[in-house]
Structure 1
Amino acid sequence: MPAMGGLSLYLIQRLIVLLLCLVQRLNPSLAYSLKNCSISYSNDTLADVVLHCSERKLVTVPDDIPRDASVVYLWYNQLEQINRDDFRDLSKLRILWLDTNQIAHVDNGSFIHLVALTRLHMAFNKLTDLTGNLFQGLSNLTMLDLSSNNIQSIHTSAFQSLSRLETVILDSNNLQQVVAIQPILQLPLIQKLSIRDNQFPSFQTKDLLLNAPSSLKVLDVSDNDKFDKFSITTEIFPHLEMIDLSRCGHVAGWKWDIPDKTLLRNITQLYFSYPLIAFEEIRKVLQSLDSLMHLRLNYMEKWINKGLLATVCKIPTLKKLDLHWSKVPNISVKLVTCSQLSELDLSSTSMTELSKGSIRLMKQLRFLTLETNLLTKVPDDIRTLSSLEILNIGDNIISELSCEDFTNTTRLRELDLHTNHIAKLDRCVFQSLNDLKVLDMSNNLLWTLGGVFKIGLKKLEFLDLSNNILLILEKGDFQSLGSLKHLDVVWKHKAFDGSSNLGNLTVPFPFEFENKFTYLQQLENLTIYFISDSFKGHQPNYYKDFFHLKSMKVLTVICEGYHTCFPFDIPSEMLQAMKHLEDFTAENFYISAPDVDTFQYNRQLKSLTIRQTDLSDLDPGLFQPMPHLQVLDFSESKIKSLDFLFQADLSALRCLKLSDNEITVINEMVFQFLPALTYLDLKNNPFTCDCSNAGFIQWVKNNNQTQVVNAYEYTCSFPRAEQGHKLLDFDIQFCWMDVSFFCFISSTCLVVLTLLASFIYHFLRWQLAYAYHLFRAFLYDSRRRKAGAQHRYDAFISYNVHDEAWVYQEMLPALEGEQGWRLCLHHRDFQPASVCSTNRRMCWSCCFWRRSRPTSCLLTTA
């Protein structure tokens, strides 16, 4: 434990740091433990510094935000105001999230130093007014979100400095008049404005006095339930392309006032939902738009039943029609004349069938969504759509597929059949889909593939067969999938013959390994989900099939269940061929620490994760073959000490995660063996708050390289008196004093004092007594002098009894008779029970002197 020298060194170090801080504020990206935030770890040293300060119950902006932070999350806190200096040094900040706080006031110029900021999010706060200089300095801001505040007024110069602003979101505020948005429309690069759910009684361009036409392209005025009119009578929106009028108006509806169709000549997208506009008015709207390409009609059953789609289908420019959540019986019948469509969305319309012939004439249809309906089979009309490229029939109740379902959809690139009741597949189902790249058949009831992937599908890259109950697979079941890059499937046997380009594979159940990976030599990412206690009969050489995985870079093994997957194991031979392995993860897999030779062939390993395992008997030799290891995650692994790091060569390690372990005491010297460490996670460990952790506490607070994540939230578990207290609040100052040295000094001083007192008492006690009384006499005489008192005697005569005759016969006549002095004599002036007049203390001193010295003494006073 450090002695007094250590304390001096500590004080010197603190002084140096303080002096450096006075010259330049030290604030590197991963340089210290932040009190209220944490920095996301990234393997890329050049990546943006992302700071997480969310959900910390903060009432002020933290003062230790790194100066080079690029993204800061401060949402879900209790900030009430933003002060002018809160973001003073964050000149590199690009994205700032302040959502969901209590911010009611922002000092003018609070963002003036955020010269690089491009996105500012302040939704769900309590702002009421946007003042003139509120956004001063944000010259590079492109996106501003102020939704869900209580904004009632906007100063005319509030957005004046935001010359690059493109998107403004003011949803769910309390704006009363449309003139309030005039400063936004004057921005030179404004593209999108969302003002839904405000208190506008109408939207009329005659109320807007702009110096020049606006560059606005997207206008969202939805959810304004007080709307009675939407009017564009002046040419201020020459570039407007999209208007969202969903849920606008009231029971009586609202009026569309666009007298000149050329004012909306560029409108390509229009959104409506709920019939809050009169039927005739909406027809008027649709007939006035000559360039409309995308129309959304959600929850519009009332007007669709009245024949609205007849008008819709007459729009010659219309290419995309979105009718989801419009639950109209036989809705497809009403689309017969919409032959010009290229995209059609009929999801969530509760259809039980797509009426035959209803979309047959849509020869240009490329995208069709029938998701979340009650279809029991693939609609017949799909067979006629030779132009179809993307088809989504997921989340229905289709039980089987026939060979005719996709006969003519030869251009199909994406097919989604997830969450149906498909139990089996015929060999010919997909044989015509030569351009298919994505196929999702997850969450079905498949128990066999029927050889469907033995032919065709030469270009398939993504296949998801997860959450099925595949029981029967044959050799070469995937042999035709030569372009496959990602596969999520339950499998066994020689199913992957021919899938040589597969790059990502997920296997979510126990299987036999023999000859599984023979044809997967390009596989780079393998995830295996095991079920515990299911390998009792596995073959001794099960791992030999892994010899073919020579391109493997990421291997993940996860055991699902309450116990580890013992007796299954990963010997070094299993990983022998994986010379390029960079990332290995094992969760709830091992019953104890892996063998020391497990990774002896994997010298390129950069990330090692072993979680939910008992690593208390870990051999440091495990790390010997890993010179490039950068990330080590041993969370939830019953580790009690970091001593294993003393013997491990981990000079390249940058990230160490040891959360949820049993670490109580940490020797800070261990971090000298981790020179590259920049990220350390030790949360949820039972720390001891006493001097045994003093060095670690000091290191956490003062090191200038490693970020100890959430260190200021670490709590004490021992001793009992400190339970619940914060680890870094523990006072370590007294720990730097050496108790033994203190005891030595104290006992030495006591011994020396005792010897000195004994010597003085034996040899000098009378001298000290005399000096004491003499000193008292001096003080008394001094006080008398200051008071102006007169002396009764001029001198005191101290003499031996043998000199008494001479004093009386010779000395007294000469001094009192001839000189006129008044002498104080012991035998004459000291009477029994008397005092020595006004100079009593001096007389006592002299009398004491007389008894102690057998010589005469003459004392005179002034």
Structure 2
Amino acid sequence: PSFPLLASLLLLVPGASAYGFRNCIQSMVDPRSFRCIQRFLSDVASAVDDLPASPTVPAASSRHLPQLRKLGLAYNRLEMIEDGAFENLGALVTLNLSYNRLTNLSEGALHGLSNLTHLFLQHNPLSTMHPSALQPLGHLHTLDLFSSRLASFDEVACRLQSLLRLRVLNLCHSNLSSLSSCCLLPPSLSTLHLCNNSLQAVDSGPQLLRHVRRLDLAYNNISNVTSFAGTQLQKLRYLLLKGNPLDVFDLLNVSRLPPSSLDYSGLRLGREGVSRLCQHLGNGTVRRLLLQSNGIQELEGKPFSACPPVRALDLSWNKLRSLRCADWLLGEEQHGALQSPPPPRLRTLHLNINTIAYLHKHALKGLRALTELRLDNNLLTDLYRPSFADLRSLVTLNLRNNRISVLFPCVFSSLSRLQILDLGGNNIRRLGSQSLCGLHSLTKLYLDGNHIKEISSDEFRPVQATLQVLDLGGNSLEYITKRQHKPPPFRYLHRLYDLKLPGQRPYGMKIIPPQFFRGLSALRELFLAENKLLSISPDAFDDLRQLQYLSLADSSNGMQDLPPGIFKSLVCLQRLNLENVGLHSLTLEVFGNLGNLTSLLLAKNQLQTFNASVARALGALRYLDLRKCPLSCTCENLACQGWLPRAGQPLGYVYSFDTHVCFLDAGLYLFSATAPVLLLLTLLPLLHHRAYWRLKYHFYILRSWANEHWRRQDGESFQYDAFVSYNSADEGWVLEQLGPGLESSQGSFRLCLHHRDFEVGKSIVDNIVDSIYHSRKTICVISRSYLQSEWCSLEIQLASYRLFEELKDVLVMVFLEAIPERELSAYHRMRKVMLRKTYISWPPEPAAQPLFWSKLRKALRGRCAEEDEELHPLDGGDEPLLESVSQL
């Protein structure tokens, strides 16, 4: 698949209105900037041809955009740039052509870019460049040729002769093996990146690098340090040599490089190397000493004792496991009495990204001038108050991504000047009322990514007078009831202007209780995204009258529409993010009071229409995002269409909607087409409810007829004397009375019973049909439970088919209990059977039971033959009940 076109358009058009483009998305922060990322565009013209044609924002291709300031064409498949491709782009400042397939820059490829300042060509197989290709770029400041395939450094240097304002050149990863060149670099060039090449020496000659201030030679193959001796580097202020097989102390001995200008990161100095390095640093103050990635595991024995005063020390990316005493930072002359004023002391200390698990109580003793301390990304579990006792000047303390679980009372009480405290990414589960005591200047507190389950107002009382930013995102705050049993947690933070509460784990806050944000009278920004809210109290935001930004994005968890009046107090709100919150409609009760709202994000909601009255109420709105909303081209959106800004070309499916259909009198046609369908849909459930079993019975009867037809062809044979149809509630009588009474030596009948004779694995309906047709008779044991059973009704219906259709006397009805006429009248399926057949009743008196067995055996022995006339009823039936039933 083709790579997407990345085009960012910065237009000098103040106050541009916001509306949708086919291939670009207008930036909410800067309405003059457009993003065309991941639009699968093939050329720049398709990215900008739908811009409105006006005197201030010209449309069509790039040559018609003389005010274009920024153009990004990265991640495409451009193989060449034709001459004059960027003509008339005289205002262009930044051009990004990275990650393409450019192999050549012709003479006129960059013609017309007279004001270009930044040119990015990294990750192109660029192998040739015309000598005059860069000549039009007289104002170029930055040239990035990372991962190019130019033949030599000399070719590049000679192409740069006309770039008198060039300051930054990146030639990293370009397969350069030598720096020899007959052309000098521009005097303005101050930063040169030559990392990840194949250089073995600095063979550039004495004059080539004389103006360079920052030189990056990391990850080459430089081992010959004598080559630095013949090179003029008197203006060099920073040199990075990481990843080269050289001895830095030999380099300091043979060259004139100032030791303080080197970045000693990645040179594998070790603890002993630090001591040797201090001897080379001299007596002057070192502004910054960088010792990253040197494999330093411990600092016992005062390795910095011989060092001059250091203002900033970076020991990150090492293997330090513990800090025990500050002596390793203080030289001996700083311990004794001094006759002259003490030199500048350590201000910045970076110990991040080590494996420090233990911080000794006196590890930082004496660092009274320290203003910034980084201990993030270590393994610290406990913090003690004496550890910070001497850090009275500390302004920034970073303890992020450790394993701190408890903040002991007043552990930071000595840090009265601390302004920024970062405790994010730890294992803190709760804050005590004294955890933040003594932090009288704290303005920013980061507690995100912990496991805090509950917050209270007393916890933040020590910092109530100064705290301005509070980050509690990614914790475990959860509210499952709207009742607030404790005072609002932020009621003392009257100066807080930024509050972050997104992504509470594991399933979000769920509910925002009433008055939860009470006291935040100065709050400007509130983040509540990714909280899967089920409910928000209508008065939740009543105290936030100064709020300017609110995010509830990705909080859809069944909440659907917002409660009326929820934003009634947010008269200063300017930006509102409601992306993916489950909205189904926009109402004035919710949005009617947001008269100052300038940007509204409603993407990924269930909106089908945009309320025109809401659109009119949002008079200051300049940016509206309705992406991935199922907006429909219906007449309900007609008013919204007129509200959209008009342009010379159609603005998408809503703008180009044919409005003539809204004025057609099509009601009659719609009624005629839909009424029959609705009537049919109404009758089908009724028919299903009333005649479902009847239809099902006829289907099974049809199957029975087909099976009987084949049986007639094969010859009639019976496996049983009678199939017994009964309900499970009467199973006891069948097994205890009927079975023994008929299958005994006196009866000598073979019965077919469900539990005994049905074939395993066969459909129950097929078992019933086969049992009826393999039996000479069918005995129906009738009771109230039998009449209410659908399966029993099916069995008697199938048996009655043989009675009426085949005129075979196959049905014997046995009543176990007396059933009144009013109950029998509801079971009309038996009426036709009882009109043709009498029945036998089971007498509860033992004296009458022999007569019952005699009648039943007689009925079972009766011949099963076709008759021309009506079958004669059995003698001995209950005639009064039969007569009453026959009258139904």
TM-score interval for Structure 1 and Structure 2 normalised by the shorter chain: 0.5 to 0.7
- Corresponding residue to 1:266 among 221, 226, 235: 235
- Corresponding residue to 2:92 among 105, 108, 117: 117
- Corresponding residue to 1:37 among 17, 20, 24: 24
Task: Rate the CA distance shift 1:176–1:103 in 2: closer, same or farther, 3 A.
Answer: same
Is 1:167 aligned to 2:112, yes or no? no
Aligned to 1:337: 279
Shift of 1:625: 2.9
Is 1:396 aligned to 2:362, yes or no? no
Shift of 1:343: 3.4
Task: Rate the CA distance shift 1:582–1:703 in 2: closer, same or farther, 3 A.
Answer: farther
Aligned to 2:551: 609
- 1:762-784: CA deviation from partner (whole Å, max 9, x where unpaired): xxxxxxxxxxxxxxxxxxxxxxx
Shift of 1:112: 3.3
Letter in 1 for 2:240: Y
In structure 1, distance between residues paired with 2:475 and 2:189 = 56
In structure 2, distance between residues paired with 1:471 and 1:148 = 47
In structure 1, distance between residues paired with 2:14 and 2:347 = 52
- 1:623-662: CA deviation from partner (whole Å, max 9, x where unpaired): 3333333223223222212244797233332222222222
- 1:144-176: CA deviation from partner (whole Å, max 9, x where unpaired): 221221222222222222222222222222211
Is 1:738 aligned to 2:725, yes or no? no
Letter in 2 for 1:462: I
In structure 2, distance between residues paired with 1:594 and 1:457 = 39
**Aligned pairs, how many?**
634
Is 1:596 aligned to 2:538, yes or no? yes
Letter in 1 for 2:109: L
- 1:784-805: CA deviation from partner (whole Å, max 9, x where unpaired): xxxxxxxxxxxxxxxxxxxxxx
Equivalent runs, 1:709-858 vs 2, <5 Å: 732=658, 735-736=661-662, 738-740=664-666
- Corresponding residue to 1:542 among 461, 465, 486: 486
Aligned to 1:856: none
With normalisation by structure 1, the TM-score equals: 0.65
- Corresponding residue to 1:87 among 62, 76, 88: 62
Letter in 2 for 1:486: K
- Corresponding residue to 2:318 among 373, 395, 401: 373
- 1:806-854: CA deviation from partner (whole Å, max 9, x where unpaired): xxxxxxxxxxxxxxxxxxxxxxxxxxxxxxxxxxxxxxxxxxxxxxxxx
Shift of 1:437: 1.0
In structure 1, distance between residues paired with 2:264 and 2:62 = 44
Identity %: 23
Structure 1 runs not aligned, ≥5 long: 1-24, 73-83, 294-316, 491-505, 713-726, 745-862
Letter in 1 for 2:255: L
In structure 2, distance between residues paired with 1:168 and 1:53 = 24
Which protein has greater RCO, CA pairs closer than 8 Å, 6+ apart? 1
Q: Secondary structure at the match of 2:159?
A: helix
Is 1:63 aligned to 2:48, yes or no? yes
Aligned to 1:764: none
Is 1:322 aligned to 2:264, yes or no? yes
Letter in 2 for 1:116: A
In structure 2, distance between residues paired with 1:599 and 1:538 = 14
Q: Is the 8 A contact 1:394 1:417 kept in 2?
A: yes
Letter in 2 for 1:245: L
In structure 2, distance between residues paired with 1:144 and 1:107 = 17
Aligned to 2:749: none
Structure 2 runs not aligned, ≥5 long: 1-11, 335-344, 671-888
Q: Is the 8 A contact 1:330 1:354 kept in 2?
A: no
Task: Rate the CA distance shift 1:742–1:111 in 2: closer, same or farther, 3 A.
Answer: farther
Shift of 1:53: 1.0
Letter in 2 for 1:384: L
Is 1:215 aligned to 2:188, yes or no? yes
In structure 1, distance between residues paired with 2:534 and 2:41 = 42
In structure 1, distance between residues paired with 2:362 and 2:53 = 60
Q: Secondary structure at the match of 1:120?
A: strand
Letter in 2 for 1:244: D
- Corresponding residue to 1:483 among 441, 459, 464: 441
Q: Is the 8 A contact 1:406 1:430 kept in 2?
A: yes
Q: Is the 8 A contact 1:346 1:369 kept in 2?
A: yes
Aligned to 2:802: none
Aligned to 1:384: 330
Letter in 2 for 1:63: V
In structure 2, distance between residues paired with 1:457 and 1:620 = 46
Aligned to 2:509: 565
Aligned to 2:103: 128
Letter in 2 for 1:343: R
Task: Rate the CA distance shift 1:551–1:346 in 2: closer, same or farther, 3 A.
Answer: closer
Q: Is the 8 A contact 1:32 1:704 kept in 2?
A: no
Is 1:241 aligned to 2:213, yes or no? yes
- Range moving further from structure 2, 676-685 or 233-242: 233-242
Is 1:423 aligned to 2:414, yes or no? no
In structure 2, distance between residues paired with 1:163 and 1:740 = 67
Shift of 1:617: 4.8
Q: Is the 8 A contact 1:531 1:565 kept in 2?
A: no
- 1:584-640: CA deviation from partner (whole Å, max 9, x where unpaired): 443455854534344344433333333414443534433333333322322322221
Aligned to 1:834: none
Shift of 1:738: 1.0
Letter in 1 for 2:48: D
- Range moving further from structure 2, 47-56 or 381-390: 381-390
In structure 2, distance between residues paired with 1:629 and 1:679 = 14
Task: Rate the CA distance shift 1:629–1:456 in 2: closer, same or farther, 3 A.
Answer: closer
Shift of 1:471: 6.0
Q: Secondary structure at the match of 2:566?
A: helix
Q: Secondary structure at the match of 2:528?
A: strand
In structure 2, distance between residues paired with 1:551 and 1:160 = 55
With normalisation by structure 2, the TM-score equals: 0.63
Shift of 1:59: 0.4
Q: Secondary structure at the match of 2:160?
A: helix
Task: Rate the CA distance shift 1:121–1:687 in 2: closer, same or farther, 3 A.
Answer: same
- 1:726-760: CA deviation from partner (whole Å, max 9, x where unpaired): x669964663561449989xxxxxxxxxxxxxxxx
Task: Rate the CA distance shift 1:201–1:561 in 2: closer, same or farther, 3 A.
Answer: closer
Is 1:52 aligned to 2:35, yes or no? yes
In structure 2, distance between residues paired with 1:60 and 1:106 = 12
Q: Secondary structure at the match of 1:193?
A: strand
In structure 1, distance between residues paired with 2:209 and 2:502 = 57
Task: Rate the CA distance shift 1:39–1:590 in 2: closer, same or farther, 3 A.
Answer: same
Task: Rate the CA distance shift 1:591–1:26 in 2: closer, same or farther, 3 A.
Answer: closer
Task: Rate the CA distance shift 1:664–1:628 in 2: closer, same or farther, 3 A.
Answer: same
Q: Secondary structure at the match of 1:219?
A: strand
Aligned to 2:304: 359
Letter in 2 for 1:270: L
Is 1:231 aligned to 2:206, yes or no? no
Shift of 1:551: 2.7
In structure 2, distance between residues paired with 1:531 and 1:457 = 26
Task: Rate the CA distance shift 1:272–1:569 in 2: closer, same or farther, 3 A.
Answer: closer
Q: Is the 8 A contact 2:324 2:359 kept in 1?
A: no
Shift of 1:244: 3.1
Q: Is the 8 A contact 1:353 1:379 kept in 2?
A: no
Shift of 1:184: 0.8
In structure 1, distance between residues paired with 2:180 and 2:580 = 62
Letter in 2 for 1:175: L
Q: Is the 8 A contact 2:300 2:328 kept in 1?
A: no
Task: Rate the CA distance shift 1:320–1:561 in 2: closer, same or farther, 3 A.
Answer: same
- Range moving further from structure 2, 146-155 or 519-528: 519-528
In structure 2, distance between residues paired with 1:412 and 1:67 = 56
- Range moving further from structure 2, 635-644 or 663-672: 663-672
Q: Secondary structure at the match of 1:132?
A: coil
Task: Rate the CA distance shift 1:448–1:383 in 2: closer, same or farther, 3 A.
Answer: farther
